[in-house]
């Protein structure tokens, strides 16, 4: 059974190879990772998650692009499908669920409002699940998520800080939890400090490497 690999391109951007298909999530600053996309999942329309410049490098006419309904017209090609939270989507063997992603902390609610209906994704790959949280705070809906690998933001300012990411990691029922969306915000030293604290408090926590080659296989 070909479960493939997951590669952290950087920030909240990932490439998964699943049964021979290339699946991108929030492609941004993809550098040399320009293999054509079979599927693209966009969590919300902010430029570091929906980058038209990066999308143009990987979209083909038959690429299926899933994006929140308020941003369908921002996708520069492919077959575009509008999504909203709490739904199931599938195309052949590729299937996933959408989950809410929003800010709930008072000084952040305007960055990712709940009413925008932006999303995170729970991919189901031959029984293996990967949760990409999108841009979000620690929200009640996370307690319902069961997954093999959870990818959660912890950069602060726009999303959870490290302490909140630790709380989220404890609430999500995951075999492994990896932080994302923090190195651009925290810098080299701040990122190392955040990673150390995260690993000290999350027993099933892992740190992925930003790389041109796959480092975490599942």
CATH code where residue 124 lies? 3.60.15.10
pLDDT(89) > 80: yes
pLDDT of residue 31: 76
Residue 64, in any domain of the structure: yes
pLDDT(197) > 60: yes
pLDDT of residue 109: 95
Residue 1's pLDDT band (boundaries 50, 70, 90)?
very low
Q: What is the 3-state secondary structure (H, E, C) of the chain?
A: CCCCEEEEEECCEEEEEECCEEEEECCCCCCCCCCCCCEEECCCCCCCCCCHHHHHHHCCCCCEEEEEHHHHHHCCCCEEEEECCCCEEEECCEEEEEEECCCCCHHHCCCCCHHHCCEEEEEEECCEEEEECCCCCCCHHHHHCEEEEEEEECCCCCCCCHHHHHHHHHHCEEEEEEEECCHHHHHHHHHHHHHHHHHHHCCCECCCCECCCCCEEC
Domain boundaries, position 31 = 5-209
Residue 181, in any domain of the structure: yes
Domains identified in the chain, total number: 1
Residue 215, in any domain of the structure: no
Indicate the average pLDDT of the chain: 92
Mean pLDDT value across residues 19-25: 89
pLDDT(21) > 90: no
């Amino acid at each position: 059974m070909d479960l493939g690999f997951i590669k952290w391109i950087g920030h909240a951007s990932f490439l998964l190879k699943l049964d021979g298909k290339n699946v991108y999530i929030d492609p941004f600053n993809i550098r040399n990772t320009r293999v054509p996309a079979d599927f693209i999942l966009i969590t919300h329309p902010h430029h570091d998650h929906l980058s038209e410049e990066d999308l143009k490098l990987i979209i083909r006419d038959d690429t299926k692009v899933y994006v929140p309904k308020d941003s369908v017209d921002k996708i520069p090609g492919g077959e575009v499908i509008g999504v909203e939270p709490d739904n199931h989507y599938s195309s052949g063997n590729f299937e996933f669920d959408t989950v809410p992603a929003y800010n709930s902390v008072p000084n952040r609610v305007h960055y990712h409002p709940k009413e925008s209906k932006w999303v995170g994704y729970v991919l189901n790959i031959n029984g293996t699940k990967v949760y990409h949280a999108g841009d979000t705070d620690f929200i009640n809906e996370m307690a319902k998520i069961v997954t093999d690998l959870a990818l959660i933001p912890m950069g602060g300012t726009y999303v959870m800080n490290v302490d909140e990411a630790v709380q989220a990691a404890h609430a999500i029922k995951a075999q492994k939890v990896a932080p994302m969306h923090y190195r651009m915000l925290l810098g080299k030293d701040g990122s190392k400090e955040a990673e150390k604290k995260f690993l000290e408090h999350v027993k099933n926590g892992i740190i992925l490497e930003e790389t041109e080659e796959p480092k975490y296989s599942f």
